[in-house]
Amino acid sequence: MKYFSFFFAFLLVGCTTTSADKKLLEEALRIHSKAITIDTHTDTPLYFIHAGFDFGQRHDARKEGSKVDIPRMEEGGLDALFLAVFIVQGERSAAGNARAFERADLIFDSIVSVLKRNNDKAEIAFNASDIERLKYSGKRAFLLGIENGYPIGNDLSLIKYFYDRGARYITLCHSKNNDICDSSTDTVEFNGLSAFGEAVVKEMNRIGMMIDVSHISDSAFFDVVRLSTTPVIASHSSARAICNNPRNFSDEMLKALAKNRGVIQVCLLSDYVKTFPPNLQRDSVMNELLIKYRYFKDLSDEESAMASAEWQAMNLKYPIELATVSDYVDHIDHIVKTIGIDHVGIGSDFDGGGGLADCIDVGEFPKITMELLRRGYVEEDIIKIWGGNFLRVMEEIQNKAG
């Protein structure tokens, strides 16, 4: 069976030490071979614009930075993932909006180029049926999302433009407010959605585009679920009751998400999984880099490559403390206990900060499944977590498109 190729590759990285673990791993990979497994958020396109990065070759996350490539997806039994077109929030002006649009277009072009070079193993998917077709053809499916609605500026027509380019969700904002809504990590400006943001929600509903509510403020979230006529997604968020971070969802938000029929894709970024004491040396170097590279706003390709290299050097010299798979599954447990099994999935945020001490890249994803099995989750539940719940939402949204 196909999953044994994953099994042998996974053993090479020293995953297991006991016969019980080996049996769990074999069962995990059997389930991966049966399920449609989806990761709904990665920032890997940040690597695509760097000369020399080969997405079709295996990389080492502990040496080369990137946590995603086609060979490691095959090792980890991952069928599909979203590539985020991430745009840092910049100046909210006509000129700033134009630069954001141009940057987004450039990243879309780089994704198309990279996947064309690997078209024997990979293909862009536009809907749920594409994902299923590609799984059974032996190819990896890649879907596109925009992280931060900044590139649409104040122009509703650009939502359809980016949909036609392949984007299937927009994360309404990022770490700063934009013209759509307040961010969960910025000051209050609109107390939720702006009037333009309300129009954005309606337009995304109309064309069948998923609304991503990760990063947005609590008030903006409640505005979205009040207005949206379709389910929403949180592409990479976790449970605030387990880790008290404003990026995470309170129990009240989880219950509203379930009422909306949406899904929260639990994030592997350790700061959203577990609270750690401050790392003062790292924080100092990080602040220096942020100032040096203008908070990563409007960087040239050369500056972007230099910033990435210095950021990786910081990570090597001052590594962040990482949560574990067990810590991560605590979030899944809490969400399932709070709103049921039908509203939870996986959204790693790999290459955007995501990564656990014992699940550092997509090749190690079966460790999450092993922990779910240890805690008594059955195959049907795990298939829902790894993609079934998300596919339900995606299909419903596309079927309701006007």
Neighbours of 88 (CB within 10 A): 18
DSSP letter for 341, please: G
pLDDT per residue over 133-192, tens digit each? 999 999 999 999 999 999 999 999 999 999 999 999 999 999 999 999 999 999 999 999
Residues in the chain: 402
The band of 17, judged by pLDDT with boundaries at 50, 70 and 90, is low
Predicted local confidence at residue 238, as pLDDT: 99
Phi, psi of 116 (to 5 degrees): -65, -35
Assign 110 to helix, strand or coil: helix
Place of tokens 């070759």: 57
**Which runs of E-coded beta strand occur in 93-240?**
122-124, 140-147, 167-171, 210-212, 233-237
Q: Give the DSSP per-residue string, 209-267.
A: -EEE-TTB-HHHHHHHHHH-SS--EEEEE-BTTTS--TTSBPHHHHHHHHHTT-EEEE-
Helix-, strand-, coil-residue percentages of the chain, each rounded to 5: 50, 15, 35
Residue pLDDT, tens place only, 216-239: 999 999 999 999 999 999 999 999
DSSP 8-state secondary structure symbol assigned to residue 318: S
pLDDT of 304 higher than 70: yes
Write the pLDDT tens digit of every residue in 333-343: 999 999 999 99
The SS3 of residue 37 is: coil
